[in-house]
Chains A and B, each alone.
Chain A
Amino acid sequence: MRSKDIDGDGWEERHLMQKISTFVAMNIARIIEHFFFQLGQWCQWMWMLASRPEKWSVYYREAVRQADAIGIGSLPVVFIISVFFGAVTAVQFSYQISGTFVPNYYIGYIVRDMSIIELAPTFTCMLLAGKVGANIATEIGGMRQKEIIDAMEVMGINTVAFLVWPRLVAALLVIPMLVVISAGVSIVGGFYTSIWGNLFTASEYILGLHSFFEPYNVFIMLVKAVVFAFLLTTISAYQGYFVGTGSIELGRASTRAVVFSDVAILIADYVIAVIMT
């Protein structure tokens, strides 16, 4: 090999390039194969979800329990982050327009629309993917590892429907409510910045809130909230349902649930933005 290199015919470089390209090609093939396997499995899984629930009353009871966990459990953290969404947006926009001809009341207008169209649905749902999504993946994954899912299957229960429907219904009802609360709190957060920060007056901010209001934006917010709620619930439940054995796998499933949910939310956010605006 050395003599070939000394000859200067580039054999070693070619050999290395060949090895790298083989390695890259094999990994790409593996990723594509894995992607299609997951997609097929997800489709089958969603098909099982589409079947009729065995007993509505039991599903209803579970949905109420889940709605309580998602809604009441997430309210404090949604409240805290939403105050800061609005406050930070107001401060930063105020900084950007300082020394320009853009009037100060635009701050209220920008905070309102940013909160409604983007910050409240997207960031709240990304936060909920971390909180609720990880919780769903861990809870269902734990049931898989402790053979609770097997026990239900032996009883003849459609486990996908039983585990996912109540969580999905609860999320579809509660998450849009949390998003609406988040938007409201965010706008209020921006308002209080005006009092504490002395960057603009309260009346300027309120004038901005009343300017250029498009009710259609609220509709976009609700569509986003529903779509994101669907994504974060089904992705997290899917990750939990097919968890491997051991606590490391449970941790991985929980991480995948959050990461995949966040990525899916951002992709869906872009698609909705393109379609609806």
Chain B
Amino acid sequence: MIRIEHIYKSFGEKTVLEDITSAFYRGKTNLIIGRSGAGKTVLLKIMVGLLRPDRGRIYYDDVDFLSLGRSALRKLRMQIGMLFQGGALFDSWTVEENIRFPLDMFTSMTMGEKRRRVQEVLEKVELDDVLHKYPSELSGGMQKRVAIARAIVMNPRYLFCDEPNSGLDPKTALIIDQLISEITRKYNITTVINTHDMNSVMQIGDTILLLQGGRIAWQGTKDEILHSKDETILNFIFASPFLKGLRERALRCEE
């Protein structure tokens, strides 16, 4: 579990995050949603240590992340996997080299063991025959899968995904969502996903945190959204009349 407490962040005069307190649970897909510029990416970057908050605390299973020393921080980072919006794969390396990279850097495994591990994670993300291909030879969806494979190759306890569906067609986006959700449950990972894809929210969101103007506007579970009377979350999730109609129909069916 990851807990964040009273996180504040400003860039110059502009306050980006204000008093953010929340928890992200193990074995669940925890979603951070909000409009563009709401502070989602900044919050995610603060949680993985790419940015330092002005104030606040972050706990990884009761370990105070922000006060860790260099070697302890390095050990903790080895338990973190992150999937970036664009995949963040090395263009000049093959798929195998990209996935093997964390193993090369942090383990003393033999080349044979590393290759087996790479093959294992590629099977997990349902990719084959891509080992010796370069990222530019793969489709967007396949690149995302390779990035997921690299993120989970070290068996992380925490997985962060920044807009995993951006630039993907709805079908591939659904496959990627399901893949992340399956990995989360199967390997009991604490997964935090930053998204503004409402399909993802309804499909895989176990807990949802809505940010608006750098503040928490709403937080709860997917089921709570459906029955919520809170206009803020309803206007965000069911922004179009079509989706509003679908929700009303779903509620009527339940009754």
Number of interface residues of B (CB under 8 A): 23
Rounded to whole angstroms, the CA-CA distance of A156 and B90 in the bound complex is: 17
| Contact yes or no, A147 B88, CB < 8 A | yes
Interface bits A204-225 vs B (CB < 8 Å: 1, else 0): 0000000000000000000000
CB contact between B105 and one of A58, A143, A148 (< 8 Å): that residue: A58
| Contact yes or no, A54 B84, CB < 8 A | no
Counting CB contacts under 8 A, is A5 at the interface?
no
| Contact yes or no, B105 A154, CB < 8 A | no
| Contact yes or no, A148 B90, CB < 8 A | yes
| Contact yes or no, A57 B77, CB < 8 A | no
In the complex with contacts A55-B105, A57-B104, A151-B82, A156-B74 CB distance below 8 A: yes
Interface bits B42-86 vs A (CB < 8 Å: 1, else 0): 000100111000000000000000000000011001101010111
| Contact yes or no, B78 A154, CB < 8 A | no
Which chain B residues numbered 86 to 120 have a C-beta less than 8 Å away from chain A? 86, 88-91, 101-102, 104-106
Closest chain B residue to A150 by CB distance?
A: B50
| Contact yes or no, B78 A156, CB < 8 A | yes
| Contact yes or no, A151 B105, CB < 8 A | no
Rounded to whole angstroms, the CA-CA distance of A143 and B77 in the bound complex is: 20
Rounded to whole angstroms, the CA-CA distance of A142 and B74 in the bound complex is: 25
- List the B side residues contacting A156 at CB < 8 Å: 73-74, 77-78, 106
| Contact yes or no, B48 A147, CB < 8 A | no
Rounded to whole angstroms, the CA-CA distance of A128 and B104 in the bound complex is: 31
Kindly name the residue among A54, A58, A146, A151 whose own CB sees the greatest number of chain B CB atoms within 10 A: A151
- List the A side residues contacting B82 at CB < 8 Å: 151, 154
Counting CB contacts under 8 A, is A12 at the interface?
no
CB contact between B86 and one of A55, A58, A147 (< 8 Å): that residue: A147
**What secondary structure prevails in chain B residues at the interface with A?**
mixed
- List the B side residues contacting A172 at CB < 8 Å: none
| Contact yes or no, A150 B104, CB < 8 A | no
| Contact yes or no, A54 B88, CB < 8 A | no
Rounded to whole angstroms, the CA-CA distance of A148 and B86 in the bound complex is: 9
Counting CB contacts under 8 A, is A157 at the interface?
yes
Rounded to whole angstroms, the CA-CA distance of A31 and B28 in the bound complex is: 51
In the complex with contacts A55-B105, A58-B105, A155-B77 CB distance below 8 A: yes
Counting CB contacts under 8 A, is A33 at the interface?
no
Rounded to whole angstroms, the CA-CA distance of A15 and B111 in the bound complex is: 75
| Contact yes or no, A154 B49, CB < 8 A | yes
| Contact yes or no, B88 A146, CB < 8 A | yes
- List the B side residues contacting A54 at CB < 8 Å: 105-106
How far apart are B50's CB and chain A's nearest CB, in angstroms? 6
Q: A55-B106, A143-B90 are in contact. List 18 more A-B contacts (CB 8 A).
A: A146-B88, A147-B84, A147-B85, A147-B88, A148-B88, A150-B45, A151-B82, A151-B84, A153-B50, A154-B50, A154-B77, A154-B82, A154-B160, A155-B77, A155-B78, A155-B102, A155-B105, A156-B73
6 closest residue pairs by CB, A with B: A156-B77, A151-B88, A147-B88, A147-B84, A156-B74, A154-B82
**A–B pairs, 27, beta carbons within 8 Å:** A54-B106, A55-B105, A58-B104, A58-B105, A142-B91, A146-B88, A147-B85, A147-B86, A147-B88, A148-B88, A148-B90, A150-B84, A151-B82, A153-B49, A153-B50, A154-B48, A154-B49, A154-B50, A154-B80, A154-B160, A155-B102, A155-B105, A156-B73, A156-B74, A156-B77, A156-B78, A157-B105
